Structure 1
Amino acid sequence: MQAVETGSVQAVPEARGGMFRSLGNRNYRLFAIGGVVSNVGGWMQRTAQDLLVLDLADGSSAAVALGVTTALQFLPMVVFGLWGGMLADRYPKRKLLFVAQSLLGLLALTMGVLTVTGVAQVWHVWVMAFALGLIACVEVPTRQSFVVEMVGRKDLSNAIALNASSFNLARVVGPAVAGVLIAVLGGTGPIFLINSVSFLAVLGGLAMMRASELTTPEPVPREKGQLREGLRYVLERQELLMPILLIGFVSLVTQSFSMSIALMAGEVFGSGAASFGLASSMFAVGALGGALMAARRVRPSRRLLIGGAVSFGLLQILTGLAPWYPLYLLLLVPAGVALISVNTSANSSVQLAVSPEMRGRVMGIYVLVFTGGAPIGAPLIGWISDLGGPRAGVVIGGALTLAGVGAAIMLAKVIGRRSHATVRGVAAAAAGAR
């Protein structure tokens, strides 16, 4: 018998069990263990991929080749992301994830063989990056919307925060492990092969889950206009529209923050690669701490969402103005806490407010908005940094974040009023016709 789930935020019961309570759920525990292994492998591969591109490309065009690689990996999500969310509503999510994870592992294996045998060329990496992006169009919204089917609504916020903890822990560990293994093994090829093996942990976890313990909604039958239905569904609901708009505006800047850390460490404080790694780790440690703090909450609040976004904007400005490198490093920790608070609060708010049959499409919109800011924000902040220096880029980025929070709140109210007026008008017309 399938469990019944409502779309009401008020329907979330109180949850007990502490910071790691979701791990008491067997299905989620299998999912989380596989996720930790795969996340570490994924960050190892990202490091190896960047180094491989820099090694294969000519010195003068290496930066361009690396930029093209990143663009190709983001492009499919921007173009096809909404369709991926629609597929997540149409098909069983566990089976969809199994296929997507298998394809990701196959890509890593192929790239590893090409690299180890000395055949790899830059265009091979570009094809792999584009293919990764295509698979992510389906895998990311499916994975995001599958969490509630494992843990239910009462532990959803906790599970999302634990997922963020796993991701940020891997963000610290993965590149460091990759650097050591590349030096020991003598190349990047083995890293791709190791990552391909890491997918077995995810696939094994999915295969071992108990289907009877999943809260699985009925798949949505294929019909015309389902993408428009998803967009209309978001526009008509303030509790969905505001967090999605806010994460969209904030992500315009946040996606380029790692670049800003590199520029601040190298050009402002004159530090080397090791110091840049330390700065990135401080930010990641803050994000990990913020995720663990979020895991204690039963449900997010709008005040936390807005407060986290405002705090991150202010902390960006403070890091841009920091006169000493040690102070800059210290400020990166609360900046990481604030950013992850925004991300987990927005994700939880959206998933708690959406009905089961719409979750895939809504999460497709969410992921599209979240990732779509990178192609706009990163070049903009880079251009500002070129003109006025890295400090100007970071400070203006913080100001844009604060402005984005205000714009998201106002836009959500304006669109919400118009949507309600339209609904009332249609209802009145229908009543008059009767």
Structure 2
Amino acid sequence: MIKDKNFKNLFIANIISSAGDVFQDFAIMWYVLNRTNSTIWASLSLVLNFLPKIIFGTYAGVLADSKNKKNIIIKADILNGIFCILLMISVIENLAIPYILIITFIMSSLDIITQTSEMSFLPELINEDNLLRANSFMNGTESMVSIVGPGLAGLLYALMGAKYLFLFNGVSFFVACIFMKMIKYTFINKKKRKFGSGRII
């Protein structure tokens, strides 16, 4: 199953972006704490990181079910990569913390769309016999990243600082896009196919 090229590309893209997300979440929290010396501001950064999961979770599922999942993931990754570069610039220019928190909220919103699309994309790439193993493999690897990632992020933050972690995450999103582009996939609009097999305007 792991030899399937489409699954391999999706898996690599998912792991790269997941690792970058862990690094960034850590970097944002500690950067805000170091800049403000306020646990309230640091806590707010965490809240804004998780809030989109509550607000947009249902919408993300509807979007993933009705649109081209590959294109959704690629576009979200490109936007996230750009926002990571903006975060790096904001650190270099020492911009206001609210500006950083707004970007954090936007990126977390894009992340929930990406994550939902990836999970609903998998059944379209893998045959049913291998789907359970593919899901288990991806979930297990993501869990490992979430466990190991914060420790590695802390080490890198101490060595390099927040701006380079933001740069790393930005690059990781663009690299993930390359692997997503290599997935061979043809989108079929099920809604249009359902309501007519004639002309689609």
The alignment status of 1:74 with 2:50, answered yes or no, reads: yes
1:109-138 CA-partner distances (Å, limit 9, x unpaired)? 1101211x1423321221022102322342
The aligned counterpart of 2:107 is 132
Structure-2 change in CA distance of 1:169 and 1:153 (3 Å): same
Within 5 Å, give how 1:395-414 maps onto structure 2.
Answer: none
Distance apart, 1:147 and its partner CA: 0.8
Structure-2 change in CA distance of 1:114 and 1:148 (3 Å): same
Aligned AA for 2:178?
G
1:27-80 CA-partner distances (Å, limit 9, x unpaired)? 0101112222222222111111111110122x3xx2211222222223233223
Equivalent position to 1:54, from 33, 38, 48 = 33
The aligned counterpart of 1:191 is 165
Equivalent position to 2:120, from 128, 145, 153 = 145
* Contact 2:74/2:180 (8 A) holds in 1: yes
Structure-2 change in CA distance of 1:124 and 1:197 (3 Å): same
The aligned counterpart of 2:79 is 103
Distance apart, 1:217 and its partner CA: 5.0
Structure-2 change in CA distance of 1:99 and 1:177 (3 Å): same
Q: Secondary structure at the match of 2:191?
A: coil
* Contact 1:92/1:219 (8 A) holds in 2: no
| Structure 1, 32-41 or 92-101: larger mean CA deviation | 32-41
Structure-2 change in CA distance of 1:161 and 1:82 (3 Å): same
Within 5 Å, give how 1:20-419 maps onto structure 2.
Answer: 22-57=1-36, 59=37, 62-115=38-91, 117-185=92-160, 187-211=161-185, 217-220=188-191
Q: Secondary structure at the match of 1:154?
A: helix
Aligned AA for 1:142?
S
* Structure of higher CA gyration radius: 1
* Contact 2:32/2:42 (8 A) holds in 1: yes
Distance apart, 1:182 and its partner CA: 2.3
Cα distance in 1 for partners of 2:188, 2:68 equals 9
Point out where structure 2 has 5 or more consecutive residues left out of the alignment: 193-201
Dislocated runs of 4+, deviation >4 Å: none
Q: Secondary structure at the match of 1:120?
A: coil
Cα distance in 2 for partners of 1:125, 1:159 equals 36
* Contact 2:30/2:42 (8 A) holds in 1: no
CA-atom RMSD, angstroms?
1.9
* Contact 2:88/2:163 (8 A) holds in 1: yes
Aligned AA for 1:144?
M
Aligned AA for 1:108?
C
TM-score, with length taken from structure 1? 0.42
Point out where structure 1 has 5 or more consecutive residues left out of the alignment: 1-21, 222-434
1:344-379 CA-partner distances (Å, limit 9, x unpaired)? xxxxxxxxxxxxxxxxxxxxxxxxxxxxxxxxxxxx
Greater relative CO, 1 or 2 (CA 8 Å, sep 6+): 2
Cα distance in 1 for partners of 2:14, 2:112 equals 18
Q: Number of residues paired by the alignment?
A: 192
Percent identity (aligned) = 22
